[in-house]
Structure 1
Amino acid sequence: MTDEQPTWVGTADAEDRLDRFLAAAFPTMSRAKVQEWIAVGCPRVDGKLAKAGRKLRPGAVVEIFGPPPAPEAPNIAPAKIPIEVLYEDEHLLVVEKPRGLATHPARSLKAPSLVNALLARGQPLSEGTGSYRPGIVHRLDKDTSGLIVVAKDDRSHSSLARQFERKTAERRYLAVLSGDLSRDRLLVDAPIGRDPSDRRKMAATSRGKPARTHFKRIRLTERGVLVGARLETGRTHQIRVHALLAGHPVLGDPLYGDRRGFQGPLQLHAAFLAFDHPETGERATFTALPPVDMEADAKDIDALDPF
């Protein structure tokens, strides 16, 4: 009998692989580090050593013995990535993020992000919410394109963040959904939390945080229905989860869509952004056309305001 005590104990609440369970429990660690951790025998399942692919049953007890390997630092090196700047002054800038570019670095992300591109411009940025997110007031999913406002100083950052928190800043999206809506307006009011069966995904769950999404039917296209989407809350993957819940997933969604149909990229674009300028107080409004494959034009963006 050993007197060694675990440094961490967790219980699986759903079926999962050991490596995925640990990656979700320790989000600051990369998958590679989790694999290394398992290889040296730190985690045990129900008191026994286990491999990365070990299937956990609900209620399985996972114990950690010994400290984990040191987490990897995110990549914050400047990277010369072309980004379109729609507006810039000494306090902020508004950029259009392309698909495939993450908003900010993460330990699990090797590729450069929007932050890396901003750093390469040599302009000052606010401290943001952490050393790896300078200037970032709000974010878009990696596969979502569209408008983002970036703060250059902490005072502007605080003002903008407060507007998003109080919902006086406005964000509206264009999306192409599968099928067609049965009515012109649709409100989806359903809490969103982590999907217990797949840690990469979010899901509508009673244990989640409140989430409300307004959808507006704009017109039918050859592939689906073009809609406007307006958020009352800002949960991870909110539009994508609520569209799925409504029975009309976003086309091209690799996590929540039906990949047997449309094989193109995610059809979701942040097309409208409005906020009060932190220095002047004047209302600033910006619009951006989506990628050409979404087949939307300026008239479709006009349908987002008012909405």
Structure 2
Amino acid sequence: MTDRRTLPVPDGLEGERLDAALARLFGFSRSRAAELIAEGDVLLDGSVAAKSDRVHAGAWLDVTIPPPPAAPAPVAEPVPGMSILYEDDDIVVVDKPIGVAAHPTVGWTGPTVIGGLLGTGRRVSTSGAAERQGIVHRLDANTTGAMVVAKSERAYTLLKRAFKERTVDKRYHALVQGHMDPLRGTVDAPIDRHPSGDGRFAVVAGGRDSVTHYDTLEAFRSASLLDIKLETGRTHQIRVHMSALRHPCAGDLLYGADPTLAARLGLTRQWLHAVSLAFEHPATGEWVSFSSPYPDDLAKALEIVADDGR
């Protein structure tokens, strides 16, 4: 449904560019705000304006927000390289490979976990949005490792609750640049979309509560291998928090990693792996744990780092 809103420009936005003002008022990305302005969906004091126009306190904004495009339905086809770590009537735990999204989204044309499961004839929970059926948590497309999908409706309900209440033990290993100081610690910093609107996320005042615990497993000459436990599960959380500490994940060029080091390690994505996942089984109540070995690209990069200075 189309949403139309009319409101005055607050005093605090005096002199801001129109696209920046819209982004701050409505929580859009700057690029989304610019699209609305270009489509003529934004009037400033009754007239069409340009994204670079400056707004003045008290001026009237008339904004028409079209409904977001619907995500595509999952394509049911097997996903090469995606293996099953565990399966029963209620859950299936997959070892997600690189380049696979959890579920379809607008703009994503690659393979998905849900499509891969459906492509092998597996049944998944029908709860949730059509394109996300059975999905109770997500990994970035280029983050590998253990991920659970609900098969039964009861499993979906209980696992969603467990993730929301933070009773799931999610462990990641990350190879980050440099050495952490202190070697063990907690990052408690809110995350939201980056003000640039370029698809990144960032530590932003007023963002969503985000907590990351880390512990150094091994320090090498140019990098450190960390064990990371998440309390929250924000988009790009580990990548954003490590970047904010000036220790981005090796290979993570989007968040400031050194491209020279990435090339030397043969990395085409962030060195980040969901190494284990543990939770109360939704059917039996038993505490269950699953682990995923490092994929070849991460294992090779770690080997190169470990050999430095020997």
Normalised by the shorter chain, which TM-score bucket?
Answer: 0.7 to 0.9
Cα displacement (A) at 1:39: 6.4
RMSD: 3.4
Cα displacement (A) at 1:193: 2.2
For 2:205 and 2:28, the matched residues in 1 are separated by 24
Contact 2:71 / 2:131 at 8 angstroms: preserved in 1? no
Secondary structure in structure 1 of the residue aligned to 2:131 = coil
For 2:18 and 2:97, the matched residues in 1 are separated by 33
Q: Which residue of 1 aligns with 2:206?
A: 207
Cα displacement (A) at 1:177: 0.5
Check if 1:286 corresponds to 2:290.
yes
Alignment of 1:84-95 (within 5 A): 84-95=83-94
Cα displacement (A) at 1:84: 0.7
Q: 1:46 to 1:80 in 2, by over 3 A?
A: farther
Cα displacement (A) at 1:185: 0.7
For 1:73 and 1:113, the matched residues in 2 are separated by 13
For 1:223 and 1:61, the matched residues in 2 are separated by 54
Q: Which residue of 1 aligns with 2:75?
A: 77
Write the deviation string for residues 166-216 of structure 1: whole angstroms up to 9, x where unpaired. Answer: 222110000011111133312111122222233522222231122211111
Alignment of 1:39-188 (within 5 A): 41-44=40-43, 47-49=46-48, 54-55=51-52, 63-64=62-63, 68=66, 71-82=69-80, 83-188=82-187
TM norm structure 2: 0.77
Percent identity of the aligned residues?
37
Write the deviation string for residues 215-268 of structure 1: whole angstroms up to 9, x where unpaired. Answer: 111112354111111112222221111111222111122321235432421111
Cα displacement (A) at 1:141: 1.3
Contact 1:75 / 1:107 at 8 angstroms: preserved in 2? no
State the number of aligned residues: 282
Please identify, of 214-223 and 83-92, the stretch whose mean Cα deviation from structure 2 is larger.
Answer: 214-223
Contact 1:94 / 1:149 at 8 angstroms: preserved in 2? yes
For 1:272 and 1:57, the matched residues in 2 are separated by 50
Q: 1:126 to 1:226 in 2, by over 3 A?
A: same
For 1:227 and 1:16, the matched residues in 2 are separated by 42
> Structure 1 residue aligned with 2:299, among 277, 285, 295?
295
Which segments of 5 or more consecutive residues in structure 1 lack a partner in the other structure? 1-5, 298-307
For 2:60 and 2:175, the matched residues in 1 are separated by 43
Secondary structure in structure 2 of the residue aligned to 1:255 = helix
Secondary structure in structure 1 of the residue aligned to 2:181 = coil
| 1:71 partner amino acid | P
